[in-house]
Amino acid sequence: MGAPAAKACKRIVLVHGACLGGWSWFKVATPLRAAGYRVDTPDLAASGVDPRPLRDVPTFRDYTAPLLDLLAALPPGERVVLVGHSLGGVNVALAAEMFPDKVAAAVFLCAFMPDAVARPSHVLEKFVEGNWLDWMDTEMKPQDAEGKLPTSMLFGPRIARERFFQMCSPEDLTLGGSLLRVSSMFVEDLQRQQPYTQERYGSVRKVYVVCKEDYAIVEEFQRWMVENNPVDEVKEIVADHMVMLSRPDDLVRCLEDIAEKYA
């Protein structure tokens, strides 16, 4: 079996962060596919081109459903490298809890990474309480008077430019600004969930990719999460939060290394 054929057996699933969509991976998915990997870039519910509005996605599990459906549909014995960016780390953790036998490795790319002790909201609460980010012109507002739906969130142009895309090209910033959608951190719903378990999520091999110039989830907080929930390997890229747009070649090499080692 030649190298491209061997890689064709390896499948990588790229999970976007809040307000983003599968589109955010276009510079990474393309070269990975060209190298022979099978790559999926699902849109989570109410994200990317998914037609649902956020109000139709009341829980984090509803939000994660497209990823969970993808894993549920995998043939018996097939395992994937799951990569979560930003809030996508919590989606990856939920997927690993539900389908530990289908995840060859869970990769957290400058992402929120829950542990198997506290509720999945814990890392988000620590981030907000610690004032790790100046939210600037982010719009956060209740979706309903009763507070049954999670608080909505949309990043404004200033925070996108100064905290997320600061190493990206003007073209990528324009693209991102035109495609961002209202999303949520789903903190209220995640506070009601039980911790993910050591037997399932805790048993999955994990890699954390630190982005050293990230002004959104800063390096110090990324490293705190690794200390809080030790992983099998830590990698580093000198990049901003939107590493898949600003440093796609570095990220592709990083993910190829991970896929070759763990998948």
What DSSP element (H or E) covers 106?
Answer: strand 103-109
Interatomic CA distance for residues 89 and 64, integer angstroms: 11
From 16, 115, 240, 241, the catalytic residue: 241
Tokens of 253: 């090499």
> Dihedrals φ, ψ of 160, to 5°?
-60, -45
From 24, 40, 85, 86, the catalytic residue: 86
Q: What radius of gyration do the chain's Cα atoms show?
A: 17
Residue 16 among the catalytic residues: no
Residue 241 among the catalytic residues: yes
From 189, 214, 240, 246, the catalytic residue: 214
Residue 85 among the catalytic residues: no
Helix, coil or strand: residue 16: coil
Alpha-helical runs (H) found in the chain: 3-8, 26-34, 60-72, 88-98, 122-129, 157-159, 170-179, 187-190, 219-228, 243-246, 248-262
Residue numbers annotated as active site: 86, 214, 241
